[in-house]
Amino acid sequence: MTHLPDRLEIRQIDDCRWLIPRQGRMNADGLVFADRPLMETIRDDQSLRQVANVACLPGIVGRSIGMPDIHWGYGFAIGGVAAFDPDAGGVISPGGVGYDINCGVRLLRSDVTLDELRPRLGRLMDRIMRDVPAGVGEGYDSDDRTLTAREVREVLARGATWAVERGYGTADDLAHTEAGGRLPSAEPDRVGGRAVERGRAQLGTVGSGNHFIELGCVREIYDERAASALRLGLGSVAVLIHSGSRGLGHQVCTDHLEAMLSAASRYGIELPDRQLACAPLTSPEGRDYLGAMAAAANFAFANRQVMSHRVRDAFAHVLERSWEELGLALVYDVAHNNAKWETHRIGSAERRLCVHRKGATRAFPPGHPEVPDAYRDIGQPVLIPGDMGRYSYVLVGTATAFAETFGSTCHGAGRRMSRRQAKKSVRGRDLEREFRERGIEVRSASRATVAEEVPEAYKDVADVVRVVDAAGIGRRVARLEPVGVLKG
C-alpha cells in the first residue's frame, strides 16, 4: 500500500521554511524549518518522507512539522512535531514520542567562574563520575540506591516531587521544571512489571548513547535582559544534564507499541510504516499508553532531579562550599520526547490537542501560564545541546513558535555520521588527549561511546540555532562551551 508519491513535492516558502503540500494520502501539509544548506543534508535521508507519513495519520491538526535538526528516525523523524484532535479521530503514537520517553535537558547555573574552577576541574569530573553512574549496565547496586518495585511506582506517580520530598533538591527546583516535574495524568498501574524492574537500579543514572552531564562556560550572551532573568553571567560555569527515563521508558514504549500494532488495524488505521503504530486518543489502548507514558515521563523528571542533587554534592565537596553558596540553582528542565495535552488556537477556536514532540523542545512564549513566574516576561527557557566539543545554546520560546509549531523548537545538532562511520573516522586518534588540549576534561564509561559521539559526527548546532532564531521559533540568549563532559 502506497501512501505517498515516489517523488515527494517540496516547495521553498522563504529562507527558513519549506512546504510539503498535501499529496497522496496526507491529511495535512508538512512544514520543515531549514535554510538551503541544511535542506541539502536533510534531503540525504528519509526524514522528509517521514514528515509526510505523519501527515497521513488520522486527526492531525495544522501541519506535520520538521525542525532544522530533523533526521531519519523510526516512524516519526527525530525533530518532528504533530498535534492530534481527540474529537476528530486523532491518535496517539508511541513512535511519535520515542523509546526514551521524556528524554530532556536541564541546566543549572552557578556563581563559580571558570578561572576559579579550572585548577579543580579534573577532580570535580572524577567526583561526578564516581557519584553519578554513566554507561551501559551502570546502575546502583547498593541497597540504599536501588529502589523496590513499590518505590518505583511512587516515582512513577510523583515524578521529581518524589525526589525533592526525599531531600534530593528543593521546591524551587520543581518551580523551574516543565510541568513542575510531575505529570498528574500518570497512571503507574499501566506500566508493566518488566518496565518497573528495569527502572529499579536506574534512578539517578545518565545511561549511554548521546546522554551526558556537561560543565560549560557561558562564553557569549545575545540577550542581556533574558540572560539576567536566567541568572547566566559571562564567564560563569553552568551544568547541562541530558538523560531520560532509561530502560523503564524503553520497555513502556516496546510494550505499548506491540498493543498498538493490533489496535491500529482494529480501528481501521492504515499505517505507512509499522513504527507509526497508533490508536485513537479516546480508545482504551490510547488511554493505556497515555497513562503509562506520563508515568515514565515522571520517572525521567525524577532521574534528572536525583542527578542534579549528586552533581551539587560533587561541586560542594570539591570546591568546599555548599551548593547554595556556589549558586547552583536550576534554571530550567525541559523535555524533548513526549506527547502532552495542550490548548492551542486553531483558526478562531481554542482546541485541546495532544502534541507529539519527538526530538523537539517545548518553547512556550512570554506570558504563557506554564512559564515559571521568574521567566514570564522573557519566555520559557529552551536548552539546546550541541556536540561534546563545540557549544550548546540557551534560547527562549516565542509567540511565533506558539502560533506556527504548537510552541516547539529544535532540540540539538542532529547526527551527520552514523555511529559506525564515526568510530571508523577516529581510529588511531587519542581522543582524550585531543579534548584535553581543547580544554575539555572528558570522563567516560566506554571509549567506544566517545568515539561515536565525536564532534564531527554531528552537524554544527550553530547552523540549526541560526535558522530557529531567524524563523522566530526560538530566540538566542546565550552560548555555552564545554569544559567537562561525562559520557556513558
Partner 1 sequence: MSGRPGRGSRIRSPAAGRPGVAGLPEGVRELDHTADVGVEITAPDAATLFDRAARALRSLAVPGVAGSARPADAEEAHTHTLELAAADVAALLVRWLSELLYRIDALGLAYDSADIEIEQATVRARLRETRLPEPGAHIKAVTYHGLACGPRPDGSWRARVIFDV
**Footprint of partner 1 on this chain (CB under 8 A)?**
45, 71-75, 78, 95, 98-100, 135-139, 194, 197-198, 208-209, 247, 250-251, 253-254, 257-258, 261-262, 273-275, 277, 415-421, 448
> Judging by beta carbons within 10 Å of its beta carbon (0-12, 13-18, 19+), is residue 432 exposed, middle or buried?
middle
β pairing state of 60-74 and 30-33: parallel
| Cβ pair 209, 450 in contact under 8 A | no
- Residue 411 falls in the annotated catalytic set: yes
Report, in Å, the least distance between residue 171 CB and partner 1: 33
Q: Would you state the cell numbers that stand for residue 249, as one nine-digit string?
A: 521508558
Look-up of cell digits 518505590 = 151
Which one, 358 or 362, has the nearer CB to partner 1? 358
CA separation for the pair 361, 65 (Å, rounded): 12
Active-site annotation holder among 71, 250, 344, 411: 411
Report, in Å, the least distance between residue 7 CB and partner 1: 20
Q: Would you state the cell numbers that stand for residue 203, as one nine-digit string?
A: 534512578
Look-up of cell digits 564531527 = 456
CA separation for the pair 358, 479 (Å, rounded): 24
Which one, 73 or 389, has the nearer CB to partner 1? 73
The string of DSSP letters for 102-114 reads: T-EEEEE--S-BH
Which one, 141 or 437, has the nearer CB to partner 1? 141
Q: Would you state the cell numbers that stand for residue 355, as one nine-digit string?
A: 502534541
The string of DSSP letters for 131-191 reads: HS--STT----STTTSPPHHHHHHHHHHTHHHHHHTTSS-HHHHHTBGGGG--TT--GGGS
Q: Would you state the cell numbers that stand for residue 90, as one nine-digit string?
A: 486523532
Q: Residue 143 contacts by C-beta under 8 Å, 6 or more apart in sequence?
A: none
Report, in Å, the least distance between residue 96 CB and partner 1: 12
Which one, 161 or 208, has the nearer CB to partner 1? 208
| Cβ pair 266, 282 in contact under 8 A | no
Look-up of cell digits 510541568 = 179
First to last CA, the chain: 41
β pairing state of 237-243 and 76-84: unpaired
| Cβ pair 103, 73 in contact under 8 A | no
Which one, 374 or 448, has the nearer CB to partner 1? 448
Report, in Å, the least distance between residue 436 CB and partner 1: 25
Q: Would you state the cell numbers that stand for residue 404, as one nine-digit string?
A: 506556527
Report, in Å, the least distance between residue 286 CB and partner 1: 18
Report, in Å, the least distance between residue 264 CB and partner 1: 11
* CB atoms inside a 10 Å sphere around CB 206: 27
Which one, 70 or 229, has the nearer CB to partner 1? 70
Report, in Å, the least distance between residue 413 CB and partner 1: 12
Q: Residue 280 belongs to what H/E stretch?
A: strand 279-280
Report, in Å, the least distance between residue 259 CB and partner 1: 12
Which one, 33 or 99, has the nearer CB to partner 1? 99
Q: Would you state the cell numbers that stand for residue 360, as one nine-digit string?
A: 523537539
Which one, 202 or 405, has the nearer CB to partner 1? 202
Report, as residue numbers or ranges, the catalytic residues.
411
